[in-house]
Structure 1
Amino acid sequence: MCNNCGAVIHLLVRKSAKVRTQPLEKDFEISIVLSDVEKVADAVDDLDSWWGMQNETLQIVPAKSSTVGGSVSKISLSPMIEQLIDASNDGLKRDKQPIRASEGCGGAYFMPDSSGQDYISVFKPIDEEPMAVNNPRGQPLSTNGEGLKKGTRVGEGALREVAAYILDHPKEGPRSFHSDEKGFAGVPPTVMFKCRHRGFNYPDGYQYASDKIGSLQMFVKNSGSCEDGSLQMFVKNSGRCEDRGPRCAFPVEEVHKISVLDIRLANADRHAGNILVRKEGEEGRIVLIPIDHGYCLPENFEDCTFDWLYWPQTQQPFSPDTIAYIKSLDTEKDIQLLKLYGWNIPHKCARVFRLSTMLLKKGAERGLTPFAIGSIMSRETPRKESVIEKIVQEAVLPGTSESGFLEYASLIMDRYLDEFTP
């Protein structure tokens, strides 16, 4: 937050030499970020340009008077997000060292609370993403700006992390700006963030000279991920499916909620390691928590992968409540919602989002299982195109408008779905 005015900031990134934040302490500086996200891809194309920001700070726009599309929008952070930011800030002010995660392909930091005993959040700087200039894992730089997954861009992962939280609507519909309602799939609260600390990865000699921009996600206490060997002991007491592996003990609705999210967002990186497991309530109900959404909303379907595709729960049909939720989804309103938050989603990504949601809604209406719908989006082998990729190819005609393309794609999709419908 701005020390002087208390302004809250959301999704955008814009350089400015006129508006500066003041360092909270010697070793770090912290604030939320609202900026023009369309500038991010241009900045990341020239990866070294991030270091041109070392003498500038991000423009701060008070959330209560944010200008979007020529009009004034009232955008504020929810109490939970504000508490998340304040608690992360307190840890830094007390010089509690961010702890870099040992797993993953990019830089991710567990942010401790003021006592240093518990983690509050996870911070992922965009310049430490896989194939980015300050990646701490020794990965080669991207030569063309493309990310680790096809159809993604280096430096845009944080935007997608925040977008996944924004688009994970509660059952009752999109949450208001000040609401803390839990989303249908349970994506932890996530916001764009800016801070500096000597514990982050900087080039030799820079000594944490510039701010880091990235996503800040609430840390959720858990018993491990779905791929952890220790999970076997975690579900042992459930008395279910021990002979078939621990994943069989997961409740059907928990697996289905994640499949809905992944299909809708065309997630290109859903593996067992980014689904957390925890028990809630006196009865110890198993809950699955989806994290790591930096590769959702891609420009194409080439790398769409879902580890849950071959879990037994996905062979069962959606419940009536889940079907009702799917039916309520509105892609055009969601695209406008992202724009209101500051991300004018690129045309190719918007097209994929429209098609994936179209497939989800049509499939659910026909009674298809998550396995059947997910199979349409996934490649059987790396070289064999998925069904939805074939639909896109057939629907692309010279001189066709976007609305015409979508209408034609809908007809072609119906034809393919007839083969899958029981």
Structure 2
Amino acid sequence: MMDEVFPVLSEIPVQLRTHFQQMISWLDQADDVLPRYEIFEHIYQVLDEEGTLRCLFKEPQDGSEVSAKKEACVYLLDHPYNNQRSRSENIYGYAGVLPTVFVRFTKGNRNMMGVLIDYVETVGNVAEYSTRYPHAPISAAQMEKVAMLDLRLGNMDRNPDNMLVRLDDGGSPHVIPIDHEMIFANEVQNYNIVSPPPHWLQLHERSVVDVNKEFSAESVSYLERLQPEEDIEFLTRCGWEPGMVFGERFKIFTAFLKTGVSLGITVYHLGLIAAYKCDDMTFNLQDIVEHVERDEAFVANVNIAIWDRLTDYNEE
């Protein structure tokens, strides 16, 4: 029996609700002592009645409820291509984040809190995959989708281990982005995602995946439909009030991404700007935001500044 679930299941489409209910049922039926997953001290296996691994239960490494709920909210904000998460029966979103639900419960004599995540078989992370399968490269389109997710949510932890690869029935690779506790996590420079630079930037610089190209028409269409205010309302209805700081950063990062895409700036260059790697410091997102006076119109004025500086960047 769960003491708390986020998202509140009544607020999500039926197919997703049923999926989460099954995941929670496996956790409810599991032994009081959950077996650990591989070498990780904060991740546990959730098996079904036949002993098949179905889910992973992950406790936040910093012990923070907010970190765990951030991870669940990334799944909710990874909207499917066909519609917003709140209205789509599709389980997987555009970037392919695994179904993730926040749970608080008691197991045996332990009070536990964290996220329950769908388990899928993978062949390793993107670095391992690229070494083992050099003749079947990961597509730039898939990396573009992960980059969009990271840029939209200010993700500071897109290291190689947080991009896994699964093979479909035909042997084609599909990237699975994982581990999203560190969205909007830079408390020193709020609009700098470098720590280290996102791995998709590094893959480009190593000539593994070319992301120095304009966004696809599909991605442009997807981004045009994103509405951060509507997303924040959805999270609130689902049982978590993210707060003003989260809301401000979410709106600004989303505006940055949408503006850059509308101007034809590539994935690679938007990554440089967001990761504070531009040679001209005034083009870095952190610098753009810092030079806007903080008043009642702050977010709107930041959006104007982003448009002006990205327009200049595009003309360089």
Residue-by-residue CA offset, 1:18-74 (whole Å, 9 max, x unaligned):
xxxxxxxxxxxx426248x9xxxxxxxxxxxxxxxxxxxxxxxx965xxxxxxxx78
Deviation at 1:406, TM superposition (A): 1.7
Paired residue type of 1:107 = H
How many angstroms does 1:107 deviate by?
A: 1.1
Q: Does 1:31 align with 2:2?
A: yes
Q: Write the mapping of 1:86-165 to structure 2, written as runs, cut at 5 A.
A: 86-90=25-29, 92-93=30-31, 97-103=34-40, 107-116=42-51, 118-126=52-60, 129-130=61-62, 132=63, 154-165=64-75
Contact 1:87–1:113 (8 Å) recurs in 2: yes
Aligned to 2:199: 307
Kindly indicate whether residue 298 of structure 2 is the aligned counterpart of residue 405 of structure 1: yes
CA distance in 1, matches of 2:228, 2:306: 17
What is the CA–CA distance in structure 1 between the aligned matches of 2:274 and 2:220, rounded to whole Å? 19
Distance in 1 separating the partners of 2:282 and 2:127: 27
The alignment's TM-score, normalised by the length of structure 2, stands at: 0.86
Instruction: Check whether the contact 1:380–1:386 (CA below 8 A) recurs between aligned residues.
Output: no
Does the aligned pair in 2 maintain the 1:267–1:296 contact within 8 Å? yes
Matched, 1:83 2:22: yes
Counterparts of 1:339-358 in structure 2 under 5 Å? Answer: 339-358=236-255
Q: Aligned ranges for residues 282-297 of structure 1 at < 5 Å?
A: 282=170, 284-297=171-184
Is the 8 Å Cα contact of residues 97 and 178 (structure 2) preserved in structure 1?
Answer: yes
Contact 1:111 1:121 in 2 (8 A): yes
Give the paired residue count: 302
Question: 1:20-419, aligned counterparts within 5 Å?
Answer: 30-31=1-2, 33-34=4-5, 78-90=17-29, 92-93=30-31, 97-103=34-40, 107-116=42-51, 118-126=52-60, 129-130=61-62, 132=63, 154-176=64-86, 179-197=89-107, 209-228=109-128, 231-233=130-132, 235-236=133-134, 239=135, 249-282=137-170, 284-298=171-185, 300-304=190-194, 305-312=197-204, 313-380=210-277, 387-397=284-294, 400-401=295-296, 404-419=297-312
SS at match of 1:33: strand
Asked if 2 retains the 8 angstrom alpha-carbon contact of 1:79 and 1:180, the reply is: no
Cα deviation digits, residues 149-184 of structure 1 (max 9, x gap): xxxxx4421101110000000112213478343200
Tell me: CA distance 1:250–1:63, structure 2 relative to 1, closer, same or farther (3 Å).
closer
Offset of 1:87 from its aligned partner? 2.6
Task: Provide structure 2 residue ranges, at least 5 long, that are not aligned to the other structure.
Answer: 205-209
Deviations 1:261-302 (A, max 9, x none): 0100110111110111011132x2210001101111336224
Structure 1 residue 98 displacement after superposition? 2.1
TM-fit CA distance, 1:380: 3.3
Distance in structure 1 (CA, Å) of the matches to 2:88 and 2:251:
27
What displacement does 1:251 show?
Answer: 0.7
- Kindly report which structure 2 residues correspond to 1:10-29, keeping only aligned pairs within 5 A, or say none: none
When residues 388 and 74 of structure 1 are mapped into structure 2, their CA distance, relative to the original with a 3 A threshold, is closer
Query: Residue type matched to 1:294 in 2?
Result: E
Higher relative contact order (CA 8 A, sep 6+): 2
Residues 180 and 319 of structure 1, relative CA distance in 2, 3 Å threshold: closer
Task: Give the AA of the match of 1:232.
Answer: T
Letter of the 1:306 counterpart: P
The answer to whether the 8 A contact 1:226-1:272 is kept is yes
After TM superposition, the structure 1 stretch with the greater mean CA deviation from structure 2, 76-85 or 158-167, is 76-85
CA distance in 1, matches of 2:87, 2:26: 20
Q: State the SS of the aligned residue for 2:201.
A: helix
Amino-acid identity (%): 25
Gaps in structure 1 of 5+ consecutive residues: 1-29, 38-61, 65-72, 133-153, 198-207, 241-248
- Aligned counterpart, 1:245: none
Aligned residues: CA RMSD: 2.7
- Deviation of 1:416 (Å): 1.5
* Distance in 2 separating the partners of 1:349 and 1:385: 24
More helix by share: 2
Question: Deviation of residue 259 (structure 1)?
Answer: 0.5
Q: Would you say the 8 A contact 1:108–1:123 is kept in 2?
A: yes
Contact 1:277 1:286 in 2 (8 A): yes
